[in-house]
């Protein structure tokens, strides 16, 4: 199980290799990336901040719940912190399971739970100089 907050770019292929196993008929991934607009406004970059200890604890809880509900061979949940440019990966979730259907269900559960309960905050920097912290990011 890989659970991490990090400032360095996320290496998706390394996470896929780390969680894969011969028992895995499916490896499903989700990557969230920094987009260049929000509600019609041009976004220049994002900044992510977290209450690290609590965020890691919540991420572990999500991973443990996935392991209890689905037959997973491997789990990786990694979220970036700090300043991110347009196109960079902000979050990666990689799950290895015997079957794709379970993989997609578990993946949806993982990202929805992360967005709902993990104390990670996003600040959007807009063209024109305004910067706003976003709730529920």
Residue 38 lies in domain: 2-134
Answering whether pTM is above 0.85, one says yes
Looking up residue 44, the CATH number of its domain turns out to be 3.90.1170.40
- CA dist 133 to 18, 97, 105, Å? 33, 36, 30
Q: Which of 38, 20, 136, 28 is nearest to 92 (CA)?
A: 28
pLDDT (tens, 9 = 90+) of the chain, 137 residues, equals 999 999 999 999 999 999 999 989 999 999 999 999 998 999 999 999 999 999 999 999 999 999 999 999 999 999 999 999 999 999 999 999 999 999 999 999 999 999 999 999 999 999 999 999 986 56
Q: What angle do CA 66, 50, 29 make, to 5 degrees?
A: 35
For residue 32, report the phi and psi dihedrals to the nearest 5 degrees: -95, 135
Instruction: Name every residue whose Cβ is closer than 8 Å to that of residue 63 and which is 6 or more positions away in sequence.
Output: 1, 3, 75, 77, 110
Tokens representing 29 are 């991934």
| Count of domains for the chain | 1
């Amino acid at each position: 199980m890989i659970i991490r907050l990090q400032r360095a770019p996320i290496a998706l292929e390394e996470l896929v290799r780390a969680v894969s196993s011969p028992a895995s008929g499916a490896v499903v991934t989700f990557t969230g990336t920094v987009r260049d607009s929000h509600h019609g406004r041009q976004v220049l970059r994002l900044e992510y901040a977290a209450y690290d200890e609590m965020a890691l604890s919540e991420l572990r809880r999500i991973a443990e719940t996935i392991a209890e509900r689905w037959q997973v061979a491997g789990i990786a949940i990694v979220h970036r912190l700090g300043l991110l440019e347009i196109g960079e990966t902000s979050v990666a979730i990689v799950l290895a399971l015997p079957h794709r259907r379970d993989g997609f269900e578990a993946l949806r559960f993982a990202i929805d739970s992360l967005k709902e309960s993990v104390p990670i905050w996003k600040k959007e920097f807009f063209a024109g100089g305004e910067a706003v912290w976003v709730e529920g990011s």
